[in-house]
C-alpha cells in the first residue's frame, strides 16, 4: 500500500548486503518508472544518451578492477522470485562486464508494494534523474494507490501536498490537483496501453487529457490517425539516433534526409503526370507499361 511504501523502502534499504547470481534476477517493466512514452520526443534522444552513458561508465569501472563494486541493487522477492526494483542500469553494467554476481539487498514484498517502492526510490537525487513527466507520473501513481487503499484524506498517509511535491519534485498545487482528480477517474474507460504496467491505473498523461477516447484506441483511430501514430513512433526512433550525433553530423544528416524526401516527392509527381492526363484519365504511357511482355522472340 502507498502509505506503507516508505516503511517498505526503509526495510529494503536496511536489508543485509548479499551477492546474488545475475542469472537468478528477474526484471519487469512494472518495476521500472522510466516509462519511455512519457518523455516528449524532443527529449527522448538525450534521455537515451544519458542512460547509455551511465551504463557505459559503470561497466568501465567494473572492468577496470575485479574488486570494484557498485552500491547494492534492491530486489523484492515476489512469489519466490527476486525482481529488481532499483538498479536496472547497474544490473546491465554487471552483465556487460561479464560478472556472475551483483551486490543486492533483498526482502520479501507484495507485488503491489514493490511497484510503489520502485517509483518512490527513484525520486530522490540519483546519478540519472527521471524526466519531469516521469516524476509527475510517480507521484500520481503513488497517490492513486493510496486512494485505492481506502485513504480519503492525504494527511492520513502522513504526508501533505507540500511534502508530496518535494518527494516527487512536483509543485504542491499539482499534487493537490492530482489528489482532487482521483475520485473522478474510472480505469475501465482507458485502454491497457494508457495504464501503468505495474498498478494498472491510468497514466496521468492521459487522465489530464479527459477528452481523449483511450478505450479501444486502436479501433477508434481513423487511417490518418493511425498514420500519425506510426509516424510519431518513427520520429521517436529517429530522434534517439540524432540525439547521439555531433551537431555538425546531425545537421548534415537531416539535410540529406530532407533532400531525399524532396526528390521522392518530385518523383511521385512525375509518376502522377505520366499515369494520368489533364482530365484524370489513365495515360497512354502507363497503359503501355502495363501490357504483358511478348516473350515469343526469346
Whole-number pLDDT of residue 290 = 44
- pTM for this model (two decimals): 0.67
Q: What are 173-185's pLDDT values in tens digits? A: 999 999 999 999 9
Average pLDDT of the segment spanning 146-152: 86
Q: Is the pLDDT of residue 235 over 70?
A: yes
What is the C-alpha end-to-end distance of the chain, expressed in Å? 80
Continuous H helices in the chain: 5-13, 41-64, 88-96, 111-120, 132-148, 161-168, 172-181, 204-207, 217-220, 223-243, 247-275, 284-290
Nearest Cα residue to 105 out of 20, 48, 38, 47:
20
Lowest-confidence pick of 38-47, 49-58, 68-77, 217-226: 217-226
Q: Is the pLDDT of residue 70 over 90?
A: yes
Lowest-confidence pick of 23-37, 97-111, 225-239: 225-239
Average pLDDT of the segment spanning 33-52: 80
HSE of 7, CA atoms in CB hemisphere, 13 A: 6
Average pLDDT of the segment spanning 60-76: 95
* Phi then psi dihedrals of residue 55, to 5 deg: -60, -45
Residue with cell 518523383: 267
* Residue 294 vs residue 115, higher pLDDT: 115
CATH architecture of the domain covering 2-220? Alpha-Beta Complex (3.90)
Mean per-residue pLDDT of the chain: 82
Other beta carbons within 10 angstroms of residue 146's beta carbon come to 24
Q: Is the pLDDT of residue 1 over 50?
A: no
Can you give the residue ranges of every domain in the chain? Answer: 2-220, 223-290
Counting residues of the chain whose pLDDT is more than 70, the rounded percentage is: 79
Q: How far is CA 33 from CA 27, 57, 115, 120, 165, in A?
A: 12, 21, 9, 9, 17
Q: What are 150-167's pLDDT values in tens digits? A: 888 998 888 999 999 999
Give 28: exposed, middle or buried? Use CB within 10 Å, 0-12, 13-18, 19+.
middle
Amino acid at each position: 500500500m502507498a502509505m506503507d511504501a516508505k516503511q517498505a523502502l526503509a526495510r529494503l534499504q536496511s536489508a543485509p548486503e548479499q551477492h546474488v547470481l545475475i542469472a537468478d534476477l528477474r526484471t519487469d517493466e512494472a518495476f521500472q518508472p522510466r516509462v519511455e512514452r512519457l518523455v516528449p520526443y524532443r527529449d527522448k534522444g538525450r534521455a537515451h544518451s544519458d542512460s547509455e552513458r551511465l551504463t557505459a561508465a559503470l561497466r568501465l569501472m567494473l572492468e577496470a578492477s575485479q574488486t570494484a563494486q557498485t552500491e547494492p541493487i534492491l530486489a523484492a522477492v515476489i512469489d519466490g522470485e527476486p525482481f529488481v526494483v532499483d538498479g536496472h542500469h547497474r544490473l546491465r553494467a554487471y552483465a556487460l562486464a561479464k560478472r556472475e554476481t551483483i551486490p543486492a539487498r533483498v526482502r520479501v514484498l507484495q507485488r503491489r508494494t514493490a511497484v510503489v517502492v520502485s517509483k518512490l526510490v527513484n525520486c530522490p537525487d540519483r546519478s540519472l534523474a527521471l524526466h519531469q513527466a516521469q516524476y509527475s507520473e510517480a507521484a500520481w501513481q503513488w497517490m492513486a494507490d493510496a486512494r485505492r487503499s481506502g485513504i480519503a484524506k492525504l494527511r492520513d498517509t502522513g504526508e501533505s501536498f507540500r511534502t508530496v511535491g518535494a518527494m516527487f519534485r512536483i509543485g504542491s498545487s499539482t499534487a493537490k490537483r492530482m489528489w482532487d482528480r482521483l475520485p473522478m477517474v474510472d480505469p475501465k474507460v482507458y485502454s491497457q496501453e494508457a495504464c501503468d504496467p505495474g498498478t494498472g491505473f491510468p497514466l496521468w498523461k492521459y487522465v489530464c487529457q479527459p477528452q481523449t477516447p483511450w478505450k479501444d484506441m486502436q479501433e477508434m483511430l481513423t487511417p490518418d490517425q493511425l498514420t500519425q501514430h506510426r509516424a510519431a513512433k518513427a520520429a521517436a526512433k529517429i530522434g534517439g539516433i540524432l540525439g547521439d550525433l555531433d551537431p555538425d553530423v546531425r545537421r548534415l544528416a537531416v539535410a540529406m534526409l530532407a533532400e531525399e524526401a524532396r526528390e521522392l516527392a518530385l518523383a511521385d509527381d512525375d509518376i502522377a503526370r505520366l499515369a494520368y492526363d489533364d482530365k484524370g484519365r489513365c495515360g497512354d504511357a502507363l497503359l503501355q507499361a502495363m501490357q504483358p511482355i511478348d516473350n515469343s522472340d526469346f
